[in-house]
Chain A
Amino acid sequence: MSADTKPSLNAPHGQLRTTRRRLLAGAGAVAAAAAVAPLAVACQQQPTSKKSGPAKVVVMTDSHEFGDDDRKLLQDTTKIEIELVEADLTRLYAMYAAGNPPDIFRVQAAGIPQYISRRMLKDLQPYFANSKVLKIDDLAPANNFYKSDGKKVGTGDLYGMVKDWSPDFTLYAYKKPFAEAGVTVPSDSQPLTYDELAALAKKVNKKQGGKRTYWGFVHSNNDQWIDRTAMNMLAEKNQSLYSADFSKLVIAANPETLKVVRYLFDLAKDDVHQNPLDPSPNWMGADFNEGQIAILQYGFWYSAMAESDKTKGNVVFLPAPTWSGVRRDPTMTATGWVISSQTKDPDAAWAVFEQYMGGKPAQDRAKSGWGVPGLKSMYPLMPQETPFQKQVQKVLQAELKQSEFTLAFNPYIGEETFATSWKKHLEPALKGSISFDKFVANIEADINTAIADGKRIAGNN
């Protein structure tokens, strides 16, 4: 083709030839139109309190806890379509940030104060007051974690409910390491002190040629719940990780707090607890099932899976240890459901919530043994058939008397904030790059900055 047969080259300038300027201008126009179109449509929508058409509720929860059978059962009972979204904190925050949170979502106790302070949750008190399925008098003490008076968690209106719960500071002992170490398995009626526990852990801890045989004492879900463990220990002495108004993390300046932090640090330093220098590739529950942990601190719910092929017949359930003789064994997870304050159909969301918490799914959960039911009237449904289940129930019934206590989580920080800082600074501290005092100072600096950020945002309310 000759040059003069190419129309673009011969066309008058600015008429046929696509110049860079025209391309950009056109592209900008198309992009602007594309960006504006959905906004224009959105602007025309009328705000409604309720969606039109058949009710649909989006539930963000763990698919292991809420399977397809549960979803179908609830759909048939409530005649409400349920869309399941897998529980994922990152996704939850992203959905909130996008203004499209799930109607119902799964939470744990440590996150609740922050969600309430940020007005993310719907006050369910009126619904509970009128419910024939979920009676307020029948609620297990763990539901107090879902109560707030606007300032403090533990009293006031209900914002959610536990799906089930456990006194979470109980212990599971695997007999084999005790036998190998020539140590007697502790009594299931006399609680250990934390000091006795640490001494015992060192005796049953075992490594051969650098390789791990048994962990002595593993707790806090791979340190993800390290602050909860510390808070419960401190609560025995009416102490807290935080100042009374939650405006500061106080470790170094409070000898009681420092002692608890030092205790937990030493468990990692003594290598009896999983730590960044000697981590486990697994979740601690799986390690216990594999017979690699001598003493595991976990709630009652874990009894449903504590006996694996490897550990069967060799597991003993023990009461929660005590820090100062004043026993407390509350839940530290209080896993349950809440309803978003931004739900467009609160009645439909409540209908699903109510059936899940008080209907057949709740009864099925109670019978399964995967936790203490959220309703006291369902306590008798817990399984007591095998010798292990009977032994567990004996200990559990005593522990339930110690469980009417609510841990006061800081409303200005996220549920992962403390643990993230702990894990971040534990590695250099264990390596000796920083001292224990610096370890503490670093955590205080991280958390107090996070608290200041949280307070500033909450102060904008």
Chain B
Amino acid sequence: MSAAARPIAGSSVRAVAWRRRSARRALTFYAFLSPWLVGFALLTALPLAVALLMSFTDYDGFNLDRVGFVGLENYTRALADPDAQHALQRTLILMVTVVPIGVGVQLALALLLDQRLRFSGLLRTIFYLPHVIPVVGGAWVWKLFTDPNGGLLNAIIGIFSPDTYIRWLVEYPTVVLSVFVIWAAAGGGMVIFLAGLQGIPTEYREAAMIDGASPWQVTRFVTLPLLSPVIFFQVVVGVIATLQILQQPILLTPGITGISPGTVPPRDNYVFVGHAYNAIFVNHLFGYGAALLWILFALVLLLTLVLFRTSGRWVFYGVQQ
């Protein structure tokens, strides 16, 4: 072996060893990541892709052997479907009602519990409890609460106005639904806001108070701007969750004890995913239902993008973007 060749050979051996180590590290990385990746691929990506393909067919859930390609027909039908339009309108109304009020309630609860209160642990538990109650149980609680015959709400109103008989789920279905959704989500959002509040250095607030700021000014000009990334996150999550709402309106339908095809919520609570559910499980239009859900996905994506685009104006990250 020549002297000149020796360094080259040595370099080659090092490179091979380097590549092996690199491959081993990459393998380890993917091995750790694989449970999530497999879950994502099989339970999210694959169903999404299948649903997209399905939306271009006349698949009815049973005719896989003779399914036909229909192009964009399901999408054009969705755009002309008056029920889909009504359902979308009601869903958007629900969203613009529930998201701001819901985030406000969550924030208010978090600000309240961020104070040094007696029994704050107990209060946190009480406020968080609705978040861990299954949606079916929560709906039953609200059905009992709003029951016209002997429900707590009418009983309370009856103290001031005897002979009150309000059929809440008939006369104010969207109000009850909104309150139910806000109530159920309040605890979860409150915990996230509390974590955000506790991440704000106390020095900022103390400095503001030393400068003579009132508690309201501290909250308005120090706490809220520093909390704005959390608010933004909660708004985005709230918008997505509200647009995807399905079980709550069905479960709050009078006389119904579970989710089943044929359950018809009050017209004001007829939401978009509920319409897709009907298309699939009542009318067996799996292709059309998939198209409706992809339209919803596009809407969710669009609204999320809009929120991200506008976030630069009101979300303060504390670092230059």
A: which residues have CB within 8 A of B?
A: 11-12, 15-16, 18, 22, 26-27, 30-32, 34-35, 88-90, 93-94, 96-97, 99, 118, 120, 209-212, 222, 224, 274, 276-283, 413-414, 416-417, 419-420, 423-424, 427-428, 450, 453-454, 456-457, 460-461
B33 touches A416 (CB 8 A): no
Confirm or deny: B167 has a beta carbon within 8 angstroms of a beta carbon on chain A.
yes
Distance in Å: Cβ of B79 to nearest Cβ of chain A: 15
A30 touches B262 (CB 8 A): no
Whole-angstrom CA separation of A90 from B300 in the bound complex = 26
B: which residues have CB within 8 A of A?
A: 18-19, 21-22, 25-26, 29-30, 33-34, 37-38, 40-42, 45-46, 58, 60-64, 66, 68, 83, 143, 147-149, 163, 165, 167, 169-170, 254-255, 257, 259-262, 264, 266-267, 270, 278, 280-286
> What residues on B are CB-neighbors of A457 within 8 Å?
58, 60, 63, 284
B284 touches A460 (CB 8 A): no
> What residues on A are CB-neighbors of B21 within 8 Å?
16
Distance in Å: Cβ of B141 to nearest Cβ of chain A: 13
Distance in Å: Cβ of A412 to nearest Cβ of chain B: 10
> What residues on A are CB-neighbors of B83 within 8 Å?
424
> What residues on A are CB-neighbors of B42 within 8 Å?
34-35
A281 touches B254 (CB 8 A): yes
Distance in Å: Cβ of B18 to nearest Cβ of chain A: 6
> What residues on B are CB-neighbors of A35 within 8 Å?
41-42, 46
Q: How many residue pairs bridge A and B at CB < 8 Å? A: 135
Closest residue of chain A to B165 (Cβ to Cβ) is: A210
Distance in Å: Cβ of A404 to nearest Cβ of chain B: 29
Whole-angstrom CA separation of A453 from B58 in the bound complex = 9
Whole-angstrom CA separation of A461 from B280 in the bound complex = 20
Distance in Å: Cβ of B44 to nearest Cβ of chain A: 10
Closest residue of chain B to A461 (Cβ to Cβ) is: B66
B148 touches A211 (CB 8 A): yes
Distance in Å: Cβ of B184 to nearest Cβ of chain A: 20
Show 19 A/B contacts (Cβ-Cβ < 8 Å), sorted by A: A11-B22, A15-B18, A16-B18, A35-B41, A88-B260, A93-B281, A94-B61, A118-B60, A118-B63, A209-B163, A274-B255, A277-B167, A277-B170, A279-B169, A283-B257, A413-B283, A420-B264, A424-B83, A427-B266
B255 touches A90 (CB 8 A): no
Distance in Å: Cβ of B249 to nearest Cβ of chain A: 13
| Nearest 7 pairs of A and B residues by beta carbon | A31-B41, A416-B262, A279-B254, A210-B165, A423-B264, A34-B38, A97-B61
Whole-angstrom CA separation of A420 from B255 in the bound complex = 15
A34 touches B255 (CB 8 A): no
> What residues on A are CB-neighbors of B262 within 8 Å?
224, 416, 419-420, 423
Extra contacts, 10 of them, besides A277-B167, A283-B257 (Cβ < 8 A), are A11-B22, A90-B261, A93-B62, A93-B280, A210-B148, A224-B262, A277-B170, A279-B254, A416-B282, A427-B266
Given contacts A30-B34, A31-B38, contact A16 B25 (CB under 8 A): yes
B30 touches A427 (CB 8 A): no
